[in-house]
Each structure stands twice: as structure tokens, then as C-alpha cells.
Amino acid sequence: MSAPVVTRFAPSPTGYLHIGGARTALFNWLYARGRGGRFLLRIEDTDRARSTPEASEAILKGLTWLGLDWDGEPVSQAARAERHAEVAHQMLASGHAYKCFATQEEIEAFREAAREEGRSTLFRSPWRDADPATHPDAPFAIRVKAPQEGETVIRDQVQGDVRIRNDQLDDMIVLRSDGTPVYMLAVVVDDHDMGVTHVIRGDDHLNNAARQMLVYRAMGWDLPVFAHIPLIHGPDGKKLSKRHGALGVEEYQRMGYPAAAMRNYLARLGWSHGNDEFFTDDQAKEWFDIAGIGKSPARLDFKKLDHLTGQHMSAGDDAALLHELEGYLAATGADALSETRRAALLRAMPLVKDKARGFGQLLEKAHFILTDRPVVPDEKAQAALDNVSRGILRELTPRLQNASWEREFLEDVVSEIAQAHGLGLGKLAQPLRAALAGRTTSPSVFDMMLLLGREETLGRLQDAVIREG
């Protein structure tokens, strides 16, 4: 039986959770969740100058909004510095690392001379093979003994075998002379201690993998499976920047995208399963595999995201959508819904969610249910309520008073009036919609009438008829 899968997301808390990070997190989450594995979170906060608690907070919030739940408590890398140092000393004790007493000046002088002589400027420490008896009583860094011949092969599940000549690798410092561990050591020790079996991350870390492998080898630890995924590009094929929408995920929440559509969309950014575009979380978990990750950078495509959003809205559970919509309102600083409006919106949800390309559009369609009498028409609706139209609506009102409040009867009444005026149903629907919703886009007039009920419908028509045009 193979070991259970453990993946992790290891963001550096120096800013918000951007879309590339969110996708990396999603891939790791899907991989673990689809295999009954664990998905862990590690905050790589060793760069004290650049890491902030606010950024950590924003990242956790972003992941939570996206619906990517992690197992256990997030691990702070900085809090594990002692353990990292301990491992460096173990490497020293086992002879896989050595004390290097070279000063910064000596390293600089080495490089300078190498440059002048046209040699590689990679530092070769004279202490690598020095007799410990010759060691001075001075501060030292711990360097790993890297192989100097042959090559290191990263068996990457996305990129294939990536070969790096060992003469390109220096004896990396693992513990600085002030006793602080380097990032490259911390990552490996943490991944090992957390039992990470699969490292899925951006291919900007591919070169790091070769150096990290030195630590795994020195400690005799099993390598995880590496999968370095191509970064996301903008629609123009260029490296992603803010201009393209390299925004924090919370911006996507504020733009009104539902998390399910985001997950679906992000999963498709660089991964595919046949021609499937729209899928559920369960399908994604079942289908997601490293083999389906492409080798070339995916391009951000808002049209696709909008389209998937419409599909996820239509398929979404009414109560869950309402709940998410309330999150959207809070995120955009809008007023919360009153109990009455909540209930009304829930009833209207089947009508208004259909193909809505975001919560903004859903709210626009739901305007009729979220507004009180007298309904104030917007400019276009006002134009639809000209004198002739209002005259027709005036005629319609008493007929509706007596109609049985069921779709077929309502349709009959409205059709008859339209016919009497030589109008198509569509022509009459327009002012009717304007009167009921104050908008020119809304669910169908009959759906609205049924939902609003007789009294409210008649009241709104009355208001429109008497309003000065």
C-alpha cells in the first residue's frame, strides 16, 4: 500500500493571496482531497523584514473564501528555526556539511579573482576539506558538501527530468554564522517533518529543487515527488502583472465571482481533463492528476471565468448562493440584507441566479424583489413608461384585480390586452417590466407577478400609472 498523500501550500506572507498562489493552493488541495490525503499550510515567514501578520491573515482569509480548507494548524516556519539549526548540526556531525570560516571579504576576494581569471565565480570554500585541528576559534557558517562532479537530476512530474551539472552548484550555506538557518534548509526540514509527499509549486522554484535535494541527500531523507507548474500568463501571453488581473483573490470576491466558479476556473488554468470545462468540486477531486498539468503557461481569460460563473450560478444551491451573496455584500461594503429581504431573495433565487455572471448581475436581476414601493424606474425603464404604455397599463390593472393569480390566467389577461392594442406580448411586457421592476432587465414579468403577489403587483402598476411621465 502506498503512503497517504500529504501536500502543502507554503506562501510567504508578504502580500495578499494572488491568483497564482491561489491556483497552487488549489492544485495541492485537489491532489490531496481527491486521494484521501492531507493538505497542510505553512506560512514561510522567515523573512522577518517582509513578512507581516496582516499578510498571513489575508492569505488565510483568501483561502477560506475560496473554500480551500487545510488540515491542522498552519505551521509557522520562523517558529521552527531551532529545529532547522539542529538539522544543520546533524549534517555537520555526519560529515555531510562542514564549518566554513571564510569571511565576507574573503568570499568577495575569491569572486573578484575568479572573475579576472575567467573562472566560475561560485565560491569554493577552502574549509571544505580542512583538518578540524586547523579550525580557528571564530564564527563559522555551516555549508553542505555538494557533489562537484556528475549531475543532479530533478525527476519532475511536470517538466520531466531536469538535469543540472553539479559544478554549477556551490556548497550552499545552511546555517549562517549568526546561527540563523537559510530558507532553502527550512523548506526541506519542514517538508520532511510535515511528512509532505508531493511538492506542487510554481516553476519559479525549479532551480531551488536542485539545491534542496542536497539537503535531502545529506540527511538521507526520501525525496518528495516534485511537480513544478508553469506560471500563469496574461491574456497577451506576457508574464502576469496587476494590469492583467494579478489581483488578490479577495478582489475576485469583490468583483462578484462565486468561489465555486473560481475553483473551477483556476483548476482549468494549466490543468485539463479532456475537453471538460465546467465541473463540480467532486469531479475535480476525482479527476485531478499531475499528468493533466500542461507544460506551457496558462493564460488568464476573464471571458471564460464569466462563462463558468454563469454556469455555476445556475447550478448553485439557492441557500448557499444567498449565503455567499451576503459575503459579497459585506466584502463590498454594501448594507446587509434585512430578514424580510433575505427571505424574499431566497424565494426569488431560482429566477435570478440563472446564468448570472456574478453577484452584481444577480442583484441587478433581483432588484424587483429588493425594492419597495414606489419603485423608482431607472432611465431606460422610465423611457419604456411613456403615456401610451401607461394608458395600457391602466387598462390592465382592473383586469388583473379579478384574475386568478396563476401563470396561465395572468398570461391570458396580458395577451388579451396586448392583442386589443395590436401589440405583441413582448411590447406590452416592456412597460410592465419597467413598472414592476423599475429596470429593463429582470426575470420574466409573469415570474415577477407570481412572486410579488397580487397586491404588490397592482400597487406597483398603480404607482407607475399615476406617476408623472
Please identify, using beta-carbon distances, which residue of 11 and 358 lies nearer to ligand GLU.
11
Please identify, using beta-carbon distances, which residue of 12 and 159 lies nearer to ligand GLU.
12
**CB-CB contact of 232 with 269 (8 Å):** yes
- Say if strands 97-100 and 141-144 run parallel, antiparallel, or are unpaired: antiparallel
Cα separation, 394 vs 388, in Å, equals 10
E strands, 44-169, where?
75-76, 97-100, 141-144, 151-156, 160-165
Query: Active site includes 242?
Result: yes
Cα separation, 250 vs 160, in Å, equals 34
Is there binding between residue 203 and ligand GLU (CB under 6 A)? no
In the complex, the smallest distance separating the C-beta of residue 177 from ligand GLU, rounded to whole angstroms, is 24
Single-letter amino acid code for the residue at 182 = V
Is there binding between residue 156 and ligand GLU (CB under 6 A)? no
* Nearest Cα residue to 438 out of 380, 355, 359: 380
Please identify, using beta-carbon distances, which residue of 14 and 462 lies nearer to ligand GLU.
14
Q: x/- site string to ligand GLU, residues 29 to 68, per CB under 6 A?
A: ---------------x------------------------
Is there binding between residue 205 and ligand GLU (CB under 6 A)? yes
Nearest 5°: the CA angle 193, 199, 204 is: 125
Please identify, using beta-carbon distances, which residue of 10 and 169 lies nearer to ligand GLU.
10
Stretch that binds ligand GLU, among 6-14, 46-54, 173-181, 399-407 (CB under 6 A): 6-14
Peptide bond into 374 cis (omega under 30): yes
Q: Give backbone dihedrals phi and psi of 378, rounded to 5 degrees, phi first.
A: -80, 180
* From candidates 12, 28, 152, 159, binder to ligand GLU by CB under 6 A: 12
* From candidates 5, 10, 213, 392, binder to ligand GLU by CB under 6 A: 10
Please identify, using beta-carbon distances, which residue of 21 and 258 lies nearer to ligand GLU.
21
Which residues in the 228-287 window bind ligand GLU by CB under 6 A? none
Catalytic residue chosen out of the listed positions 242, 285, 304, 380: 242
User: Sign (positive/negative) of CA torsion 300, 306, 310, 316?
Assistant: positive
**CB-CB contact of 20 with 248 (8 Å):** no
In the complex, the smallest distance separating the C-beta of residue 44 from ligand GLU, rounded to whole angstroms, is 4
Cα separation, 395 vs 306, in Å, equals 42
For ligand GLU, the binding residues (CB under 6 A) are: 10-12, 44, 187, 201, 205
The set of catalytic residues is: 242
